[in-house]
Chain A
Amino acid sequence: EAQVTQNPRYLITVTGKKLTVTCSQNMNHEYMSWYRQDPGLGLRQIYYSMNVEVTDKGDVPEGYKVSRKEKRNFPLILESPSPNQTSLYFCASSLLVNSNQPQHFGDGTRLSIL
């Protein structure tokens, strides 16, 4: 089954404790992206990757890191999480970078930073 898988689905942690949210897709997609969803703000892009070893900032990259060492994986790293990073996070992928292929989303990761 074609899918985007995020782990964990839920996490409660404390300020400053490094965490990683993994994202994996099995569709051989070139493009992958991370979004956060906050009430009244919709989804905002954090980082995106056009292919292996190619990443770029989205609209709200502060406090986050990403890497793309393999085509299928695109982890989101919070080196020193803070309460304002409490949010619902979505990973997405699409087949080609510059195409009209719609993005496929994972089911989300709800992070709570205390």
Chain B
Amino acid sequence: DQQVKQNSPSLSVQEGRISILNCDYTNSMFDYFLWYKKYPAEGPTFLISISSIKDKNEDGRFTVFLNKSAKHLSLHIVPSQPGDSAVYFCAAYIYAGGTSYGKLTFGQGTILTVHP
């Protein structure tokens, strides 16, 4: 049972354009969401996060949008650069109370390729 899903295995974008990576979740208890970026032969590195009390969070070229009613989040990268080419994972966890705090649930990942 995949509680966090990234339905696009790959995305190809031209340099300078917008990249939009999507993520859907099924567990309505999730209340904190993160995006990680992973280069080959390296571990994932934290990119940006959002709490369920917000619907948008920005950090430079990266913006994450959260639509709780649709259980959907997206990562926008504007403008895209060749160095952004990597695998992007969305992840979610239950922050407020409960026994699953600290337990991250990841999506399958999306390979982003940004062409010069």
A33 contact set on B, CB distance < 8 A: 102, 104
A41 contact set on B, CB distance < 8 A: 108
A92 contact set on B, CB distance < 8 A: 43
Q: Say yes or no: B103 contacts A102, CB within 8 Å.
A: no
Q: Say yes or no: B46 contacts A43, CB within 8 Å.
A: no
- Tell me whether chain A's interface is mostly helix, strand or loop, or mixed: strand
Chain B interface residue count, CB cutoff 8 Å, equals: 26
Chain A interface residue count, CB cutoff 8 Å, equals: 27
List chain A positions with a Cβ less than 8 A from chain B: 4, 31, 33, 35, 40-45, 48, 50, 58-59, 90, 92, 94, 97-98, 100, 102-108
Extra 19 A-B pairs, beta carbons < 8 Å, given A45-B105, A108-B42: A33-B102, A35-B106, A41-B108, A42-B4, A42-B106, A43-B44, A43-B104, A44-B106, A45-B103, A90-B43, A97-B101, A98-B102, A102-B46, A103-B104, A105-B36, A105-B45, A106-B43, A107-B41, A108-B43
